[in-house]
Amino acid sequence: MKYLKFITLKKVSYALQLILFLAFSFFSSCSNDDSSNDNGIAWDESIDGELSGNMNSPTIINLELGNNRIIGSSTPSPGAQCTTFQGGPPDPVIPYFPNHESYTDLFSFTLPPNYRISNIIVESLEIEPIHTFEDFPCVGELNSQLGAFTAINNSNQIDWNSDNVINFISMPSQHPLVGAGFAKNVGDDLLSKYRDDFPLDGYEINSADLEIKNGTYTFWWKEGANQANYILNFIVEEFSN
């Protein structure tokens, strides 16, 4: 009897192992056929590499229906200045961050005619001051800063550079921006900011009827003063015309 029980237990144990094995194989095959972002992550810099800091040559990213999280970070470069230019403000009140290659992240994506971005959600944002108010009064105290500059255009590149202060404060002209806004808080929707007024005077970029659909776009992250770790979710939905 004892022997019989042992056999039965052993059989049960084999059966359990078989079930577990089959279940595991099933789930493995589900996750293994993922070609890019079944887990909702379109780009993770710690795995996929640093996003381009070259304005002429953004990283190309494939966005899919649903969640497309971009997990990245940016690091300020040395050489920050509070400055001005000939004909500019009399006092050095302009924050100028050269060497943008280190603190910008650029990527391009292409949407088919029936896909559009519904939201661009700031899901995570960690900021650590590097070029601080104490050293560079023109950047302002962290709490009073507008946040990380972000923008988008309807092209595969953005004409801008940080070679001198004039270029730094100039907006792209050959490949103009269609939306710009600051990432400040978790939960911000950047697309909705791109449809609101831009918070600084003198920039005619945003429009309430902006649609990001049907074409190639470049997204631009620029945070020159602070170390930033971010997760942005570019949510893609299908629509019918």
Angstrom CA distances, 53 to 58, 59, 105, 152, 166, stand at 7, 9, 5, 15, 19
Instruction: Name the minimum Å distance from CB 60 to Ca ion.
Output: 14
For Ca ion, what does the binding mask look like between residues 5 and 24, x meaning CB under 5 A? Answer: --------------------
Nearer to Ca ion by Cβ, of 59 and 67: the residue is 59
Q: How far is the CB of 105 from Ca ion (least distance, A)?
A: 4
Report 43-72 residues binding Ca ion (CB under 5 A).
51, 53, 72
What minimum distance in Å lies between the beta carbon of 62 and Ca ion? 18
Provide the residue count of the chain.
Answer: 241
Cβ–Cβ < 8 Å for 69, 231: yes
Q: 64: which 2 tokens?
A: 């899919």
Measured from each CB, the residue nearest to Ca ion is 53
Residue 212 makes contact with Ca ion by CB under 5 A: no
The CA distance from 172 to 179, in Å, is 12
- What is the C-alpha to C-alpha distance for residues 173 and 19, in angstroms, rounded to an integer? 62
Q: Is 152 in the site for Ca ion (CB under 5 A)?
A: no
Q: How many CB atoms lie within 10 A of CB 111?
A: 16
Whole-number minimum distance, CB 45 to Ca ion, in Å? 5
Vertex 156 angle, CA 155 and 157, to 5°: 95
Contacting Ca ion within 95-134 (CB under 5 A): 105
Residue whose CB is less far from Ca ion, 99 or 167:
99
Interface with Ca ion: number of residues (CB under 5 A): 5
Which residues of the shown chain bind Ca ion in the complex (CB under 5 A)? 51, 53, 72, 74, 105
